[in-house]
Amino acid sequence: MKHFTKHITTLLLVFFSHIAFGQNTSIKITDKRTSDAVSFANIELLNLDKTLHKGLTSDANGVAKFNIDKKVKYIVSFIGYADKKGEISPGENINIELNVDTEILDAVVVTGQYEAKRADKSIYKIDVVTSIQLEERGVSNLADALSNESNIRIKVDPSTGTSIEMNGMGGENVKYLIDGVPIVGRVMGNVDLSQINMDNVDHIEIVQGPMSVVYGTSALAGVINIITKQNTRNSNNLKANTYLDNKNNYNVGVSGSIIRGKNTFSLNSQRNMFQGYDLSPETRPMNFNPELVYNADLEYAYRNKDFMIKLKTSYMNNEVLNHGNPDTLTNGIVNDYQYLTTRSSNSITINDRLSEKLSYNIIGAYTYYGRTTNHYQKNLRDTISEGLDILEQRKVSDDFTKFDNIMTRGNFTYIPSSKLSFQFGWDVNFDSGEGVKIKDEKQTMTDYAAFLSAQWKPIEKFSIQPGFRVIYNTNYSAPVVPSINFQYEIIDNLSLRASYAKGFRAPSLKEQYLYLVGSSHNIQGNPDLHAESTNSYNASLLYKFKDENMLFKIEPSTFYNHGRDKIFIRIIEEETNTATYDNLGETINYGYSINASFLHFGGLTTGIGFTRIGEAFAYEEGADFSPFVYYNNYTLNAKYNFRKLRLVLMANYKLYGETPSLREDPDDTDNFYYVYTKPYSDLEFTISKMFWRNRMSVVIGGKNLFDNYNTTTTGYKGETYTERYSTINYGRTFFVRMNIKLSN
């Protein structure tokens, strides 16, 4: 009996001690400045081998109680605050004070880096658009995400979609990546940014200046790398969102992920439906055609300490309808077109650190891009016409074009000391195109490249990074592409960056061989195109001032690009809008920008930006340049975060100054002239509010509040004054977006 009582007592002590540990292990989270409790903060508990133990949130009093039986690591995070990391043992009760995130303007970046680092420490000039900014603005596509960047101009074409111009160069010179994998599927040289979904994006990295050494062709103006979210904090995660506006956009999306040990499974899906919008409702054709886009991503990742392997498949399906104009009917028959686009990308990514000094990264991907054009005829008369009953539709023709890309890129990074680092890598891209609109119905091109760079810090505050890329292209003779970058911390919080880089862009298969025919354009490929090249010089200063209450940042920068054989669209016949691709002898564009931001830890954030760009051209290499023409961009941003109310007010303003465009006289192909688009400005305003323990956010806002529809382009062709109207937007838009997040 005595032994029995002893065993019972021991079991009770173990049982109640286990309960005591569960009750006494806690974290209390407060704001360091105000001592207010931080309610519903995220807490990630990690085992010592870095695998997820559990995820939880603090309660309304900023307290999280939990049960652990061994020491774990913790990461505490909350929007607007810097993460706090540490360790906690069973039975501990700790208080954590969160600081306002003073580095919110300098997020961690990976594009072109030897290892992940803050943007202000990168040897490249990198701008970052964070997920917080995307959510607070209610952004749903890449075009909206980039619209506030001072060095980027958004261009809207009702036929081919939304594209950009960066540092005076067109979107065909910008490399677009998603987690390092190139986006395939350009139309007239540009990726339609409105098709790229933002619902699972962690942040966007914008690298300014040529990155041809690392990323090869199409990276003359820079690189835009979309970094998607990786769930490492919640064993189960489910998100849903919806968006609607008064211009017939109705979007909905669902995503989720689960973590089981070292394995993560994720699914992200989105449907964006635009029912079209017409500035003149009495006409059948629409200024902005109806469009339906489906996006889906499926991902599996295995993580074990420093090793990670990720398998991902992405799918996009897009349908655009183009209604014919009844004013041009013959016998009551109208011509309609349906454009169907499919893009599928499948990739594998492997990262590992073999030792403290050696690591590697390898990406392999296959991307399929297919486009079908269906031509229909429809009878709109109230009688039979050409054998068609009333409103009957018949298919006249269809054609299909597809492009395949197989790529692999990888690098090994060796860091023998704090003063010296090396990186060696390769980049191979195989492109093929097939279809009746492609010359000889099939064309291929392969680009093989190897690159090498080194980063040397002869003194603590000075870094130099030379590099070069060796290229073999099956269609074009490619030069050795060099670059050199400098970074110097002149004094504390004042740093200088300067760089020289040579850029190279081989014409795409579409520019060489595709005949792109639509209702409003007829673009013929040119197999005799030359490859583009540039010599680019960039420099920037970064100054930051910080005290207990605020952070101020100012960054002036300048660039100079001298290009040869720029590829442009030459108009062959204006009446039918028939054009082809051709080379322009030489171009120069240079400019400067000044961006400043102010963050007060009480909740106020403001920013201002100004960019001025000048450009000139020479018809043939060695000929005299035309006089320089100039244009400006202005941006102004303001945000106030009412943290206690979980409420954010935001306003963003952008002014596009008078913008020049180069045109060729079809009657005199040796004569180019400039036309000028009148200036216009854009204003958006949003209110975002968190509900339901920060699980739900609602954004209400207005875009294009100055109600821009059209703009006018004017100029002189010889002594003849020309004037053209073009559609730039579908006017003032009011929207609401809701996000719901459930996790444990």
Q: What is the pLDDT of residues 516-570, one digit of tens each?
A: 766 556 778 889 999 999 999 999 999 999 888 888 999 999 999 999 998 888 7
The tens digit of pLDDT for each residue in 468-494 reads 999 999 999 888 999 999 999 999 889
In this prediction the pTM is 0.86
**Percent of the chain topping pLDDT 70:** 91
pLDDT band at 21 (very low <50, low <70, confident <90, very high): very low
pLDDT, mean of residues 27-35:
84
Q: What is the pLDDT of residue 15?
A: 45
The tens digit of pLDDT for each residue in 608-633 reads 999 999 999 888 888 888 889 999 99
Number of helices followed by number of strands (H, E) in the chain: 5, 45
Nearest to 598, CA basis, from 559, 645, 549:
549
Question: Distance between CA atoms of 608 and 635, rounded to whole angstroms?
Answer: 6
Question: Distance between CA atoms of 67 and 59, rounded to whole angstroms?
Answer: 16
Nearest to 479, CA basis, from 488, 489, 468, 487:
468
Highest mean pLDDT pick, 23-32, 55-64, 111-120, 539-548: 539-548
The tens digit of pLDDT for each residue in 233-266 reads 777 889 999 999 999 999 999 999 998 888 999 9
Question: Distance between CA atoms of 392 and 476, rounded to whole angstroms?
Answer: 50
Nearest to 729, CA basis, from 307, 156, 311:
156
**Percent of the chain topping pLDDT 90:** 40
Q: Which spans in 110-251 are helix H?
A: 131-137, 142-146, 212-215
Q: Give CA separation, 717 vs 714, 724, 725, in Å.
A: 10, 13, 16
pLDDT, mean of residues 87-116:
80
Name the burial class of residue 213, with classes exposed (0-12), middle (13-18) and buried (19+) by CB atoms within 10 angstroms of its CB.
buried
Phi/psi of residue 389, each to 5°? -70, 175
Residues 6+ apart with CB under 8 A from 71: 48, 87, 88, 89, 90
| Single-letter residue type at 561 | N
Task: Flag whether pLDDT at 3 surpasses 70.
Answer: no
> Domains in the chain, start-ordered, CATH in brackets?
2-98 (2.60.40.1120), 224-743 (2.40.170.20)
Q: Which residue did the predictor score with more confidence, 666 or 687?
A: 687
Enclosing H/E stretch for 339: strand 333-353
Name the burial class of residue 439, with classes exposed (0-12), middle (13-18) and buried (19+) by CB atoms within 10 angstroms of its CB.
middle
Question: Distance between CA atoms of 510 and 489, rounded to whole angstroms?
Answer: 45
Q: What is the pLDDT of residue 509?
A: 86
Nearest to 411, CA basis, from 351, 456, 480:
351
Question: Distance between CA atoms of 312 and 328, rounded to whole angstroms?
Answer: 48
